[in-house]
Structure 1
């Protein structure tokens, strides 16, 4: 028994859909029921809702706009931008500080550790991840190339520059196992996906096998998947 992934992804935004699909399904198929995680009994209680609201408000400490019309004007300007809907929706959630950062999840007792695993910062909140983290600053300070293809080509040429001579061969997607698996994985997705710390295990294994570097001191060759670079 498994989730109907396409149906879930069609009904929810990417972040919520991923959270739903990560929930393991019981083999016993019990009857569905609503559970309020803030109370031990699982039943909704006003005092637990008050406590949760108090903790979120104290932890966030966000100042709201005192002029409702000005705030409404900002949101209207955002929604009118000629951008993909998922980008506008992400920006709206970031501005409202309602993204599922680890610190926000910790305050809701969903995770224990609220730290940012990418750089080791003790707190992973929206402002830090998007603005103050050194990795985020690198992204903002980098001028993106006009084409992702150019970016890939530049990376390949930079890697090849360490060899005295090299040759390139074209491999179709079916012959490039990681690329083929990524294409199959991305086909049903309706949004962007970025893996910061890890990726799906089957794709990771394919990449590890395809990118396994084998060097020979006697022959002076370095092979990478189906390509061979001569040193």
Structure 2
């Protein structure tokens, strides 16, 4: 099923066998279907039983092959298929051609699914066309709907950025796009290095393709719209019964087996090892303001302040994006000061795990995480760690106060009075 398109008649026959097995009692007994099979194929969270529709599942498996062909590579099979079926373009722009083989027809049958599921991750914007490509971080539609007006249809996203300071041209965006799209664009964080744009899978948070997400997308695309929208009372009652039974079973398992134990986390600030420094970072959002704040505090083994930074970013970033920009700002400050051999620490567990390689970073901050690794190799940051908010108070105070400043404020070996008490408490708590 992952290499060839299974005929619809065979899929129907196989699903008929599954239905007969599920509802059947004995061979010759008349079988009672308590729920429609379409309802049984819905996810458990929607009242179904999670059975696979084999036609959609076949499409999802073929889409996995199509995704690999779209992303490219050096493996032999990719080079053979590209030379035969789409030598002059990429997979999503390939046509079925004349007299194609069964392999070619099978792969092209999943092309629509791949096209619907991919989008661009903005880096420098040089490869992304504003009005033709999918690049907005919006679940319902990743395409721009604002009118082009007098602008060219081939205008690139890079025209909306200021490459000298790696930020958006906010006034231009507010002028060209409708309000909610302008806010979406300004909420996309840009990395300091502005590397090349990348195609990602839009149906997962980390941008990686998984068959489960492709199946859900196939279900939403290919679900028949001809079936009735109302159901009888018996089916609704059975659906509720299935959901209640599943919830009871889940609760029973949690009580019997318990949940996973939480990992022990660092609660207080700890000094770095001898001969090194520690960079503490944090981001802050304000409930009624669009700008967000970033704070950075760099200390040595004795807890003495080496440098501190307070920065206001005039963009409607979300929590995760603000935290990622704070980590990046800490690395940039350490590089600017010429510091070597350090430890980067913050209170965002998601960013910390992504930097350690424990988990894959979400798509919205993946470029910044890659940028931090590049900066880390330059200043020899050998480790990353996570600390609770209670061990990150001085940095949090700096981030919260960023709103009162117009430009970046940096302190070098001078303790700001607002965090002096918090710094002393960190040292006394050792």
TM-score, L = length of structure 1: 0.22
Question: Larger C-alpha radius of gyration, 1 or 2?
Answer: 2
Q: Highest relative contact order (Cα 8 Å, sep 6+), 1 or 2? A: 2
Higher strand content, 1 or 2: 2
